[in-house]
Amino acid sequence: MDRLFDWIFWITVVVMVLVQGAIVVLMIRYRHRAGRKARYIHGNARVEIIWTIVPAVILGVLTYSSKQVWTAIRYAPELRPRAVKSAKILVIGQQFKWNIIYPGPDGEFGEYLVYPKPSDLRWPDGKRHGGVIGPRDLPADQVEFEINRYISVENPLGKVYDDPKGKDDDYEGAMARVMEVPVNRPVDVYLTSKDVIHSFTLPNFRVKLDTVPGLMGVFTFTPTVTNKQLGPPGYFEIACQELCGQGHYTMQGRMVVISQEEYAAKYETHGGGANP
């Protein structure tokens, strides 16, 4: 991708210098002189064809190489050989923090972001809140308060507890924690959002994707060096790059690349809650 950037950069620089140079040369060479008449030319079909075809070919090549790189990046989970086991991480954007969830030993996420509606018979977590089994049993003036409490305090991630895939997920303390990823192993980051659209960005890794409520996006990257080897400051920065409200600019996260063994020990041998 950086190579593609360099190519486009040099092509555009050359074109820009040529055109700007041409403008200056034309302005000087053909400046007004009394008693001279301009050339009376209406056009020339041959040059029109040349300056249509040549840029079209250059752009065609750029489009083709863009397509190759794009496919390799965005379809990485599908294109990868099955034997390669990627590290999966679920990121849920929320004003103004990132929730980081690991799938545990089974490598699969449970269901999240399920929240009660005033008409529901039962609370989604199967427990009692506000002294009743479902929001429908609450008096009208308490419904909104209890639902908001459920969303913000009781079960902020909207986790569905009886989903078998989610039993071993590492979701406790998901909010605003440091995201840890293994080195030299593809990392699939699954992205969604709890409230508004955010954009999960790792500028150092040239990846970025919007987190959209109701949609699950995914991108892949492979870190090649751990933060320990890199030295200070010992982490990479995560930024939000889609306007998400007043605290948009504070939505900073941290990512640390750790060794594969460390990652496996921390996140892939046992279920959630047990990691230090």
Partner 1 sequence: MSGKLPAHPLDHPPVGWLKRYIYSTDHKVVALQFLFVSLAFFALGGLLAMLIRWQLAFPGDVNHPVPILGKVMGWADGLMPPDFYNMVFSMHATIMVFFVIIPLLVNVFGNYLIPLKIGARDMAFPFMNGLSFWMGLPAGAIMLAGFFLPGNAAAAGWTSYPPLSAIWQNNPAEWPIVPLVMNFIAGFLCFGYVCSHCIQLGNRFLNVGVSILLSAVAAAGWVMMVQTIAFDGQSAWFLSLLVLGFASLLGAINYITTVAMFRCPGMTMFRLPLSVWSLFITAILVLLATPVLSAAMVMNLMDHHRLTGFFSDGGVPLLHQHLFWFYSHPAVYIMILPAMGMVSDILAVFSRKPVFGYRPMVYAMGAIAFLGFVVWGHHMFQSGMNPALGTTFAISSMLIAVPSGVKVFNWLATMWGGNIRLTIPMCNAVAFVSMFVIGGLSGIFMASTPVDIYITDTYFIVAHIHYVLFGGSMFGVFAAIYFWYPKMFGKMMSDKLGYVHFVLTFITFNCTFFAMHILGIGGFPRRYADYTNFQLWAHFKPMNQFISYSAFALALAQIPFIINFIGSWFWGRAAPANPWQANTLEWTEAASPPPAGNFIRIPVVHRGPYEYSSPLVAEDWLPQTRVLADSIGTNG
Assess 230 for contact with partner 1 (CB under 8 A). no
Ranges within 100-159 binding partner 1 (CB under 8 A): none
- Distance separating alpha carbons of residues 211 and 189, to the nearest angstrom: 11
CB distance 81 to 16 below 8 Å: no
Give the residue with the Cβ less far from partner 1, 120 or 262: 120
Query: What count of residues does the chain have?
Result: 276
Which of 12, 148, 229, 269 touches partner 1 by CB under 8 A? 12
Give the residue with the Cβ less far from partner 1, 166 or 253: 253
- Coil/strand/helix, residue 107: coil
231: Cβ contacts below 8 Å, ≥ 6 apart: none
Give the residue with the Cβ less far from partner 1, 236 or 267: 236
Ranges within 243-272 binding partner 1 (CB under 8 A): 243-250, 252
Give the residue with the Cβ less far from partner 1, 38 or 83: 38
Ranges within 181-220 binding partner 1 (CB under 8 A): 191, 195-197, 199, 201, 203-204, 206-215, 217
Pull the structure tokens for residue 155.
């079960």
- Distance separating alpha carbons of residues 2 and 7, to the nearest angstrom: 9
Report, in Å, the least distance between residue 65 CB and partner 1. Answer: 8
Contact range with partner 1 by CB under 8 A, out of 65-73, 101-109, 123-131, 159-167: 65-73
167: Cβ contacts below 8 Å, ≥ 6 apart: 104, 110, 271
Residue with tokens 């990846």, as numbered in its chain: 207
Assess 80 for contact with partner 1 (CB under 8 A). no
- Distance separating alpha carbons of residues 172 and 157, to the nearest angstrom: 10
Contact range with partner 1 by CB under 8 A, out of 98-106, 122-130, 176-184, 231-239: 231-239
